[in-house]
Structure 1
Amino acid sequence: MKRCTQKLRSFWNSRWGFFILAVLLFWAKTYYAYTTKFNLGVKGSMQYLLLALNPLPTTILLFGIALYFKGRKSYIILMVIDFLTSLWLFANILYYREFSDFLTTTLIKGSGSVSNNLGKSVAGIINPTDFLVFLDVVILIILLATKLIRIDVKPIKKVVAGLVSALAVLLFGFNLSMAESDRSGLLTRTFDNNYIVKYLGLNSYAVYDTVKAAKTSAVRANADASDLQSVLKYINANYVPGNPQYTGVAKGKNVFVIHLESLQQFMIDYKWQGQEVTPNLNKLYHETNTLSFDNFFHQVGQGKTADAELMLENSLFGLPEGAAMVTAGSTNTWQAAPAMLDQHGYTTAAFHGDVPSFWNRDNTYKTWGYDYYFSKAYFQSGKNFDVGYGLKDKIFLKDSAKYIEQLPQPFYAKLITVTNHYPYLLDKANQTIEKTDTGDKTVDGYVQTARYLDEALGEFMNWLKATGLDKNSMLVLYGDHYGISSNHKPAVAKLLGQKKFTDFDNAQFQKVPFMIHMDGLKGGINHTYGGEIDVLPTLLNLLGISNKNDVQFGTDLLATDRNQTVAFRNGDYVTPEYTKVGSAYYDTKTGKAVDTSDEKVKATLAQLTNHVATELSLSDRVINGDLLRFYDLKGFTKVKASDYSYKYSKALAKLKRNQKKDKSSLLYRNDNKSSLDLYKTNAPELESESDSSKSSESASSTSSSSSSSQAD
């Protein structure tokens, strides 16, 4: 027994022993992360076997690099590799917790454009158990530092090290072949990154993603006009004319697009402790001159808000990785809503109370044709004015009014609210409803920021009525993406009063508000299934602008014979009949699993899956290949980004010139008398600023009076 113990100790003190221990510890913590930190949808013994197997090939391959080196250097290299791969795992755990997806090369490259104010978000995401992914590194360091394991300086032959690398490659080949047998076409027709990680592992996914990103770059370089033909063929075959009853009913009207950050449809008419969370939106939703949609879904990918903007103003899907506004916004040719409307006599402006570079907006908006972009520098600042991702909504919307009243009419104005954004923080002075009691910190503050957003919107709409702008404007309100991710199922179930919250429930939970409000509009609640991709065709028809020859993947939501398949970025979909979540299919009406053995049903599901895959891939082809540079749309002049400047002084000078030239702005028509005194807000920050200003004026007056007395 003693001899056996000595041999075992001798083995762990060898290079091979340390190497195997490191591999085993890394494998154990990776499998722990897979099963507790991610929701990979593992089903069946084969998938569980692959989940257990897939960390080994890349771990052996990467850790095996250390075997090519001698002495202490070998141990140091192995520890560095272990730490870096652990850091990659840790970063993905945090990202996945909030976005239900994995980091991509494209996203990391573009992280500079979205890095503002991320500190609070990251702090709110971290769980103490997340740090367990570094436990193996700590254990190995302790074992070496205490000399429980001694460094073995004896070299390993390069041939032997090579055999270890070869073993890793063979293991990966075995892993891949098993994965392909369970999921054919894994690497060629996958829109969901969960599949790659589930079958091949997180490190293999990183390689797969890098290769895919490189291929995408090559696509643009090699694209030509012929690549557009299959896109145009599909667009023409699937074109649906706009509803003639609504064609042109909003012609010549101002258009407000109000971005309801992270707001989900379940908030409409939702009550907490007997109070409506969103009373202003509820009232608007049920008005007879509001077109409301109760089966409207967000369709964003990793780009989230950026994807929503892309779909809304281009009717093109976001990319499967990263955000097209970051990767292609500055360089691609676009045929976006701002440019289209600008060329139909509209003044176009975007409003956002944060830094202009967020999501590369300062560059993308130029290529989309926005005349003006009012960002952080255009708005007032003060103590507690900001929260998370920019100006609080009440301050932002009030400050936006001073620029709105200067815009020559008709105008197209997009206002991006931000307060209802993860991690849903709001100071006590602005809280007008209690938190929910699910016990989930991420979820419980959601109703407070949603209420604040609703109050800000109510104040803005009151101003529109006070100025008369509501009579000649069309308001478009939409939720850009989910607020509560699928990683909070128990809390969501409690919010909704359900015993459990299934994958099917989560698919339906992706509904977001979409409303079109206009004086005299024939409204009502519309039950058609649609999504953000359909907004632009809907708005263009209402404005009387034909999209017959446009490269758009959406259809008018009011059209009677439209295809109601809502495609999600990962290849899943929802229709009035069927819902696809991963490899599972459900009856949309009942939520029950569909019998896929029925040949007729099976054929229908295959057709729907193919339709969604085709739509997504063709849209990707347009963006990745920059194919619109080859397309001359009749009546549309291509945008020159160099024609636009969002520099504060230049923009205000331009706005002043255009007011005098056009003479149609609210301010000009009101004999240059501002309407800002009609804007009423209860924002405590502005009240305190006002009180401070009054105190300052009073003090100044007193001081002046005192000085006068002494002089007399």
Structure 2
Amino acid sequence: MQRVVSAIKKWWPDFNSTIGFLILSVILVTIKTYWAYQFEFSLGAKGLLQQFLLFVNPIPTAVILLGIALYFRGKLAYWLMIIINFIQSLWLFSNILYYREFSDFISLNIMKAGGSVQNNLGKAIGEIIHPIDFIVFLDIIILILLLVFKRIKVDQGVVQKRFAILTTALGVASMLAVFGMASSDRSGLLTRTFDNNYIVKYLGLNEYAAYNIVKTKEQANEVKKAKSSDLDQIKEFVNENKTLANSATFGKAKGKNVIIFHLESFQQFLLDYRWDGQEVTPNINAFYHDQNTTAFDNFYNQVGQGKTADAELMLETSLFGTSSGSVMSNYGGTNTFQTMPAQLSQEGYTSAAFHGDVPSFWNRDNTYKNWGYDYFFSKSYYKNADNPDYNVGYGMKDKIFLKGTANYLEKLPQPFYSKVITVTNHYPYDLDEQNVSINKTQTDDGTVDGYVQTARYLDQAFGEFEQNLKDNGLWDNSMIVLYGDHYGISENHKSAIAKLLGTDKVTATDLTNWQKVPFMVRVPGMEGGIKHTYGGEIDVMPTLLGLLGIDDDQQIKFGQDLLSSQNKQIVPFRNGNWVTSEYTRVGSSYYVTSTGTKINPKQDPRAKMAIDDANKYVEKALGYSDKVVQGNLLRFLDKKDIPKNQTKNISYKKSTSLKKLKQVDQSKTVIGAHGGQLTEYKTDAPELGGNKQEKNDGEDGTNSNEIASVNSILSGHGSEHDR
């Protein structure tokens, strides 16, 4: 026994030495990172090799980074290791919080775009943080205490330079060894993957950061290297996958107004969902089942890191978001696009977007201008918009926001194309007591249980907005579109999802289907119904253009008309997974879509053929879309194929926009048809007087009943503060 103890003492590092302190620090960094991998991230490590890689992949960068301290001596070396450890821990901590909400890791583009998404994030982060998360800083506190109380004594000796270099070389060599083992298990890891989980699982969180920085710089160089011939293969792919229009529905909405209602974080499962003996969303349910509504119950969100911004991008351009960051933030104001508002402007449409928050969020102010929106009504356009009682989470409460939006819609020249973005049903699903009308769910997950309350509030706001459309006549003269932008409850809340779905546990295909969001289109006079076609947000633009009777043959788009019988029914996800009417891919596994049964394609030639075809299609669609965006390839199209958006003539300055509204042909507006009077908007918003009769004021606070003309309604706006 004494020999064993002696042997341990001989090989056990002396933590009082600089080298010993380095070894201790590396051990602690490895342990806490592995803990985070296992309990904070869903990396799907399977088998001994993947688990081994998961444990060892923090070591190389820990050795390299902490080893920097070996080039210094005394206290400086020790405190450098603690500072480097703290920076690594802060990176780990930040990713834990980000992953909990977005099921992804922080990218360079996300950090660069921080200014466009930071509004109100403080409150959301407060909801995301769990006390256990701070365990990643525990080792730093311990190390500091050990030094302060001299349980570990600072070694004043100098580490030989060659030993410091050898340590750095050891870190690099171990990194290459990890990469070699990872590549043997996952070929093409850095060249073909669309999923950041793979990079972190095989190589590590720090290596992912380095990889992401390199990829981001490569993407920045794409524009410089791009040439017109790069479009040839992409055009060929797009033309091969074009679909013939459905002759029965093509042009059914021709010349009608378009009102797109953006349902924030709204998932398909909420439709007809009952909780506590009540329908959670009775108004949206009624719209879903309306005889003139065509709805799709196998429609999926396909967003990446851009979330809402990615949904808008697909809606307006039929291009996918990139694998890193938001296209709107990174390319929205500079790239050439073929967009819905620019396309419809050629058909005589006025276009307007509405959002109850600051215009810079997701770089909307620059992107919308580049996309060709004539108007962008952001928060400053709404009466008393900064009143704290009028706001929650990420902007104005939906009932108050929609009342002001309805007033502006009546002033737009028809036909118009409009997009109305709601925000109240956004994480962290907070709602003041006076607006709560349904109890929280009981999943024991604080992140999830308030979701039905904000969804109910959104539904009530939509019901009021819908009634106003019926009252002012727009209901019968507009194509009304409802779509959910992305999931509200991430797949990281598996236990809560199971309880909401009434099952014991959720399967891989359950989580894929959890990505379903609503897409429904109501066209007056057109027979509707619930379609089972498989599709996603990339398909919205071609579907709407078909209903509007607009030829889009010259467009580079990656979606297909969902009403066409030729639709491939392949739904790519940004991470490379996909779903079709037959099969579903999750990571490297495949399932029968209808049953969730896992299959081995090698044992079924027919399945293998279908799966291989889907894999090729998805890889090309995502890859080619990335090339279009990152290389700004649409600039090489013939000018006749790019709708003019007259960006230089567009201004979202409040005084300028309201002056432009004042000068429109009033005979084309709803308010003009009503003798200059706004339609009374009925709302039970307690902030506006509850169920009392709501005086329908103009957004500058003047009572429209006191005004004889539209011009006087709009007068006086220009002197207000512009945002």
TM-score range normalised by the length of the shorter chain: over 0.9
Deviation, structure 1 residue 228: 1.0
CA displacement at 1:244 relative to structure 2? 1.3
Whole-angstrom distance in 2 between the partners of 1:305 and 1:270: 24
Q: By how many angstroms is 1:485 displaced?
A: 0.2
Secondary structure, counterpart of 1:585 in structure 2:
strand
Question: In structure 2, how many angstroms separate the alpha carbons of the residues matched to 1:668 and 1:351?
Answer: 21
Query: Is residue 2:652 matched to residue 1:672?
Result: no
Q: Is the 8 A contact 2:370 2:647 kept in 1?
A: yes
1:655 to 653, 661, 664: 661
Query: What SS is found at the alignment partner of 1:477?
Result: strand
Mapping for residues 253-292 of structure 1, pairs under 5 Å: 253-292=256-295
CA contact (8 A) 1:241 1:548 kept: no
Partner of 1:623: 629
User: What's the secondary structure of 1:212's corresponding residue?
Assistant: helix
Q: Determine if contact 1:95/1:102 at 8 Å carries over to the other structure.
A: yes
Is it true that 1:451 corresponds to 2:453 in the alignment?
no
Equivalent residue for 1:584, pick from 580, 589, 592: 589
Using the alignment, how far apart are the partners of 2:660 and 2:302 within structure 1? 36
Equivalent residue in structure 1 for 2:310, among 304, 307, 328: 307
**2:514 aligned with 1:509:** yes
Aligned to 2:94: 91
Q: How does 1:100-119 map to 2 (within 5 A)?
A: 100-119=103-122
Q: Provide the residue aligned with 2:615 in structure 1.
A: 609
The alpha carbon displacement at 1:518 in A equals 2.2
Q: Is the 8 A contact 1:315 1:553 kept in 2?
A: yes
Match of 1:197 among 188, 191, 200: 200
Q: Where does 1:347-366 land on structure 2 (aligned, <5 Å)?
A: 347-366=350-369
Q: How does 1:35-434 map to 2 (within 5 A)?
A: 35-380=38-383, 381=385, 382-434=387-439
Per the TM alignment, residue 562 of structure 1 is displaced from its structure 2 partner at its CA by: 1.0
Q: Shift of residue 606 of structure 1? A: 2.3
Deviation track 1:52-86 (CA, whole Å, cap 9, x = no partner) reads 11111111111111111122111121111100000
Q: Deviations over 1:5-54 (max 9, x none)?
A: 98789811111111100000110001001000000011111111111111
Counterpart Cα distance in 1 of 2:162 and 2:342:
63
Q: Is the 8 A contact 2:684 2:690 kept in 1?
A: no
Tell me how far apart the structure 2 counterparts of residues 201 and 542 of structure 1 sit (CA, whole Å): 48
Are the aligned partners of 1:406 and 1:659 in contact in 2 as well (CA < 8 Å)?
no
Matched ranges for 1:692-703 at <5 A:
none
Checking the alignment, whether the CA contact within 8 Å between 2:244 and 2:566 is kept in structure 1 is no
Q: Cα deviations across residues 312-371 of structure 1 (Å, max 9, x unaligned)?
A: 010000010100000000110111101111121000000000000000000000000000
What is the one-letter code of the residue matched to 2:570? T
Using the TM superposition, give the Cα deviation of residue 688 of structure 1 relative to its aligned residue in structure 2, in angstroms: 6.8
Change (3 A) 1:541 1:9: closer
Partner of 2:705: none
The count of residues paired between Structure 1 and Structure 2 equals 690
Distance 1:253 1:143, change over 3 A: same
Q: Secondary structure at the match of 2:119?
A: coil
Contact preservation (8 Å) 1:265, 1:511: yes
Cα 1:293/1:59, change in 2 over 3 Å:
same
Residue 564 of structure 1: which of 566, 569, 579 is its match? 569
CA distance in 1, matches of 2:692, 2:62: 61
**CA 1:526–1:9: 2 relative to 1, 3 Å:** closer
TM-score if structure 2 supplies the norm length?
0.93
Gaps of 5+ in 1: 694-712
Give the partner amino acid of 1:504: T
- Equivalent residue, structure 2, for 1:643: 649
What per-residue deviation string (whole Å, max 9, x for no partner) do you get for residues 436-460 of structure 1?
0111011100000000000000000
Amino acid at match of 2:671: L
Q: Per the alignment, in what secondary structure is the counterpart of residue 293 of structure 1? A: strand
Moved more, 665-674 or 629-638: 629-638
With normalisation by structure 1, the TM-score equals 0.95
In 2, the alpha carbon distance for the partners of 1:324 and 1:398 equals 31
- Higher mean C-alpha deviation, range 346-355 or range 651-660: 651-660
Q: How far does the alpha carbon of each residue in 1:358-414 deviate from its partner, in whole angstroms, 9 at most, with x for none?
A: 000000000000000000000122241001000000000001111111000000110
The residue type paired with residue 372 of structure 1 is Y
Q: Is the 8 A contact 1:407 1:659 kept in 2?
A: no
Output the amino acid matched with 1:503.
A
2:511 is paired with a residue whose SS is helix
Identical aligned residues as a percent: 55
AA at the equivalent of 1:685? E
The separation in 1 between residues aligned to 2:76 and 2:642, in whole angstroms, is 63
SS of equivalent to 1:586: strand
Equivalents in 1 of 2:185, 2:600: separation in Å? 20
Matched, 1:528 2:530: no
Deviations along 1:244-273, one digit per CA (max 9) or x if unpaired, are 111111011000000000000000000001
Task: State the match for 1:700 in structure 2.
Answer: none
Cα deviation, residue 635, structure 1: 5.9
CA contact (8 A) 2:254 2:548 kept: yes
* In 2: Cα distance, 1:627 partner to 1:683 partner: 47
Matched to 1:649, the amino acid is S
Per the TM alignment, residue 222 of structure 1 is displaced from its structure 2 partner at its CA by 1.2
CA distance, structure 1, for counterparts of residue 236 and residue 293 of structure 2 = 35
Shift of 1:503: 2.1
One-letter identity of the residue aligned with 1:664:
K
Contact between 1:348 and 1:371, CA under 8 Å: does it hold in 2? yes
Residue 634 of structure 1 deviates from its aligned partner by 3.3
Structure 1 vs Structure 2 CA RMSD: 1.8
Shift of 1:637: 3.6
Query: Does the residue aligned with 2:492 lie in a helix, a strand or coil?
Result: helix
